[in-house]
Structure 1
Amino acid sequence: MIVSSLGRPIDKQALTGHDVLVIGGGNAALCAALSARERGASVLLLESAPREVRGGNSSHTRNLRCMHRAPTDVLTDAYLEEEFFEDVWRVTGGNTNEALARYVIRASETCTDWMRGYGVRFQPSLGGTLHLGRTNAFFLGGGKALVNTYYKAAERLGVTIIYQAEAERLVFDGTRFDHALVTLGDEQVRVSAKAVVVASGGFESNLEWLEEAWGPVSRNFLIRGTRFNQGKMLRSLLDNGAKSIGDPTQGHAVAIDARAPKYDGGIVTRVDCVSLGIVVNREGRRFYDEGEDFWPKRYAIWGRLIARQPDQIGYSITDAKAEGRFMPSVFPPERADSLDELAVKLDLPVEALRRTVDEFNAAVQPGHFDHSVLDDCRTQGVTPEKTHWAQRIDTPPFYGYPLRTGITFTYLGAEVDDRARMYMDNGELADNVFLAGEIMAGNILGQGYVAGFGMTIGTVFGRTAGTQAGGYAKSHATD
């Protein structure tokens, strides 16, 4: 017997006769399901997680980045296409498909209104050290509220949703999707549809695949999001001849609290005080400019930086001057009245940390500290230099956060066009296969990250994939 995550039997008839099959249960998948219903298509959505932890990585998010031409009720000033694209270009080092990036940017202008149409609510723009009030719209209640709202809308519109439905393999007939093999309970079943949207995430929770890409250092990585993103659908697409895009070692990797759990620590484990102090490795030495740029444009490089340090660990060190200037982590920092005491608490070499701080303090130049702009507080004569927000670390109490690499999502994926259609290795487009979210984000994010852009890509391509799949299914109604 096939049983749902609620303990009720599933009627096998619920698995047949649908126009569009959506594989995945996060933001991109839900946007696809809703958009396919807008086209009048019948939709089956398969979520591999139980209902109580549905939503994938999207349940841990807070906002999406969106273009806008004037102030809105949730965004200040304006954020136009060229500035948005320049932000993407800078963080990716130019490793992006410009046409697809600009497509997402332009389409993002309509996202908040579309989302509101399904009941999503936003909170007023944020101030403070996140520097996001002008660029990012924050969901009221966070990502969990967002996905719950979408699930309610999908149920209301008649989308069939089955939880703990693990899609194991996709079966193609040439360039055409034929059916998926899906594990439900103790049975494996065939699920067919006229079109499929694959929005099942990357492979960041597959520890063996991570080690294959990164080597043994990955054993010290923590996974910020869901444990269910095992990459099975990505592997199956590539096995079926999909054209791959992206580097398996690239992804959204940030510095998170080393005390976070292996999986599902979420956004609350991120440590946001890096730009307000210094970061040292296990040897007590600094290794990168903590004030290179605004935090939302640089926080995503710190996961990779930590991964290159001995034992893949670092430590953020601040003093009393940083208090109240950043969003705190869920874990309290280590606190001490002297640097020597803090070094002992963090198991750092006392002499090395004191020498590092003394050298840094001596290099700090006079300036006017202003964390809301790229200020003139910098160092001179120390390596690496700190180019903004440099203040002497000399006012007790002193604070320290241990840092590990936190993998959010991976960038290896399959290549698509601006209609979310998947390319095959031979350059042809698959007939009825559409992709959205992490599984295609590597087309736009070759490296680096800018805050909220993953949700933008998922929302735009989810809507596009659902619209295109729904339209394809309706135009092939007699097939």
Structure 2
Amino acid sequence: MTQENLRPENDADVIVVGGGNAGFTAALAAATRGRKVILLERGLEDMAGGNSFYTAGATRIAHDGLEDLKDLVEFDERHETTIVPPYSAEEYTADLVKVTEGKNDPELTKVLVEEAAPTLRWLKSLGLRYRLMYERQAYERPDGSFLFWGGLHVGNVGGGEGLIADHTRVALENGVDIRYGHRALALITEDNRVVGVRGENPAGDFELYAESVIMTAGGYESNPQWREEHLGQGWENAKVRGTPYNQGDMIKAALEIGADKGGDFSTCHSVQWDAFTPNNESNRELTNRLTRQSYFLGVVVNKNGERFLDEGADFRNYTYAKYGKEILKQPDSIAYQIFDATLRPMLRTEEYDMPEISVQQADTVEELAAKINLDPQALSRTINDYNANVDREVEFDPTVKDGKSSSTSPHKSNWASPLENGPFYAYAVTCGITFTFGGVKTDTEGRVLNEQGEHIPGLFAAGEMLGGLFSTNYPGGSGLAAGCVFGRRAGSIA
């Protein structure tokens, strides 16, 4: 305990721990109320931004279609020939319930769904920039028009790098004191109230004091020991997609002063990730380009040449965050996405035309198998069986769940285009971990709760530290949306 009469005056009204999307949003919410805010970022300036820097910037919101979005997104001449289907609050809620298998907290869900769009408009009013995500969420149709799909349509300008650049600029304009290279390790309490943080920086140890502390320091996905302990054996081998700094420091600090655990510590967001490209973890230059998210168009096989999942079970937005785990279970935690010459032009350019990508190409399936050290007979058998069972009466359409299936085992439910035209391509993938779903328990305002369900005075959480929204899987773009919504809520009352 630090006694009030022995410690210095407060350094700020609000201390925010963590300089990602949630942290900056919380800082802005407090600063625009006239609060003095210090934002602590563990990374030095060239490594700042948390996981948000590594994202594509996609942010899921409910809306009524393109006309409803035009005041939010920047003008694009393609708008005139674009269809953006409405995405209702009811659909948003249903998607969260579906992909989390009903384990999402209903009260947190209601706040997220209702406030995501208004929060983005508030951030835009402060200077952040948004756009329609043509390259990730739309296909150009034969008549030259564009059709968006999957409920996820809006992203910020410039991806994760642009998001953090905008946040940083706007925070400085609003007087936020950003301190890089500050790793917070403990919470300082006084009469059961949180009054500050203790940690280390390049100059040594530090203590800072404030009326409120907002924790937005992410999960524990960068800590291999915690991954193995909470997620299970093998997870220590997963590739870290984002920041190397999410070690669980502030989760540990909060639990040490009596905070209750929130959410599912046994599952996480994980994706198919380039297996062999050098520097394929926490890569600040390639960031999200190392994902391989056009898998639903082709087939995915393991090192035995066997399929092991339904690539077309649903839109990518609803399956990609759980299929990394399935890769981790395979021999050597490696798999291969297989496409033919017909499908190759449809793959995401930003990902599949990446420098030094892990890919092999051959004129026949058997030659391709030899190049990736698979049994040619086994891979040929898998592809031939898949092709023979494709429903060729149904038209292929990647903008809808087209029902074009292959009745092979495992069944492929949609987008089952036969792989028949050489050359054939194999992209090596492994498991890339994005963030963990367990954190601290809060109410809907972001106030951290103790094990008795009571508020811990002076302590708030948002972003990936806030447990309860996601389990097993999550709808793409809802993580950044949640960071904005609950960051704003915490910063509005801290």
TM-score normalised by L of structure 1: 0.91
Deviation per residue, 1:400-444 (Å, 9 max, x gap): 11111110001110111111101101221111111110000x311
Separation in 1, partners of 2:282, 2:173: 29
Q: What is the rounded CA distance, in whole Å, between the counterparts of 1:303 and 1:175 in structure 2? A: 41
Q: For the Cα contact (< 8 Å) 2:150–2:317, is it kept in 1?
A: no
Assess if the C-alpha contact under 8 Å between 2:241 and 2:282 holds in 1.
Answer: yes
Map 1:177-196; keep pairs closer than 5 Å: 177-196=194-213
Matches within 5 A, 1:236-255: 236-255=253-272
1:79 aligns with 2:87: yes
Give the CA deviation at 1:234: 0.7
Whether 1:433 aligns to 2:448 is no
| Residue 107 of structure 2 is aligned to residue 112 of structure 1 | no
AA in 2 matched with 1:197: I
Unaligned segments of structure 2, at least 5 residues = 1-7, 74-82, 141-146
**Which among 274, 282, 303 is matched to residue 264 of structure 1?**
282
Indicate the residue corresponding to 1:168 in structure 2: 185
- Secondary structure, aligned partner of 1:408: strand
Taking the aligned partners of 2:84 and 2:398, their CA distance within structure 1 comes to 18
Task: Please report how far the alpha carbon of residue 134 of structure 1 lies from its aligned counterpart in structure 2 after TM superposition.
Answer: 5.2
Tell me the equivalent position of 1:11.
none
SS at match of 1:306: helix
Deviations 1:352-373 (A, max 9, x none): 1111111111111222111111
Q: Which residue of 2 aligns with 1:299?
A: 320
Distance 1:421 1:340, change over 3 A: same
Shift of 1:15: 9.8
**AA at the equivalent of 1:317:** I
Aligned counterparts of 1:262 and 1:176: Cα–Cα separation in 2: 42
Q: Which moved more, 1:227-236 or 1:167-176?
A: 167-176
Q: Which residue of 1 aligns with 2:251?
A: 234
**Separation in structure 1 between the aligned mates of residue 370 and residue 148 of structure 2, nearest angstrom:** 34
2:422 alignment counterpart: 396
Cross-structure match for 2:25: 31
Matches of 2:248 and 2:438, distance apart in 1:
10
Once the two structures are aligned, what percentage of the paired residues are identical? 34
What residue identity is the alignment partner of 2:111? Y
| Number of equivalences | 455
Q: Does the 8 Å contact 1:59/1:144 carry over to 2?
A: yes
Letter in 1 for 2:399: S
Corresponding residue to 1:322 among 340, 343, 359: 343
Counterpart CA distance in 2 for 1:202 and 1:142 is 21
Shift of the 178–161 alpha-carbon distance from structure 1 to 2, 3 Å rule, reads: same
Aligned-pair CA distance for 1:209:
1.2
Report if the CA contact (8 A) 2:13-2:211 is conserved.
yes
Question: Is 1:284 aligned to 2:305, yes or no?
Answer: yes
Is 1:52 equivalent to 2:46 in the alignment? Answer: yes
Determine if contact 1:15/1:44 at 8 Å carries over to the other structure.
no
Query: What SS is found at the alignment partner of 2:265?
Result: coil
Contact 1:128 1:326 in 2 (8 A): no
- Aligned with residue 367 of structure 2, among 304, 321, 341: 341
Give the Cα separation in 1 of the matches to 2:49 and 2:326.
29
* CA pair 290-100 structure 1, distance change in 2 beyond 3 A: same
SS of residue matched to 2:107: helix
Quick check: 1:461 aligned with 2:486?
Answer: yes
Q: Is the 8 A contact 2:32 2:174 kept in 1?
A: no
Contact 1:422 1:434 in 2 (8 A): yes
C-alpha separation in 2, matches of 1:153 and 1:297? 32
Checking the alignment, whether the CA contact within 8 Å between 2:276 and 2:428 is kept in structure 1 is yes
Of 249-258 and 170-179, more deviation after overlay is shown by 170-179
Aligned partners of 1:174 and 1:436: how far apart in 2?
24
1:84 & 1:392 partners in 2: Cα distance? 33
Aligned-pair distance for 1:135? 3.0
- The C-alpha deviation readout for 1:227-268, integer Å capped at 9, x for no partner, is 111110011111211110223231111111112435214311
User: Structure 1 residue 125: deviation in Å?
Assistant: 4.5
Amino acid at match of 1:412: G
Residue 10 of structure 1 is matched in structure 2 by none
2-side partners of 1:214 and 1:92: how far apart? 16
**Aligned pair in 2 of structure 1 residues 15, 210: CA closer, same or farther (>3 Å)?**
farther
Q: CA RMSD in A?
A: 2.0
Tell me the distance in 1 between the aligned counterparts of 2:368 and 2:239. Answer: 24
- Per the normalisation by structure 2, the TM-score is 0.88
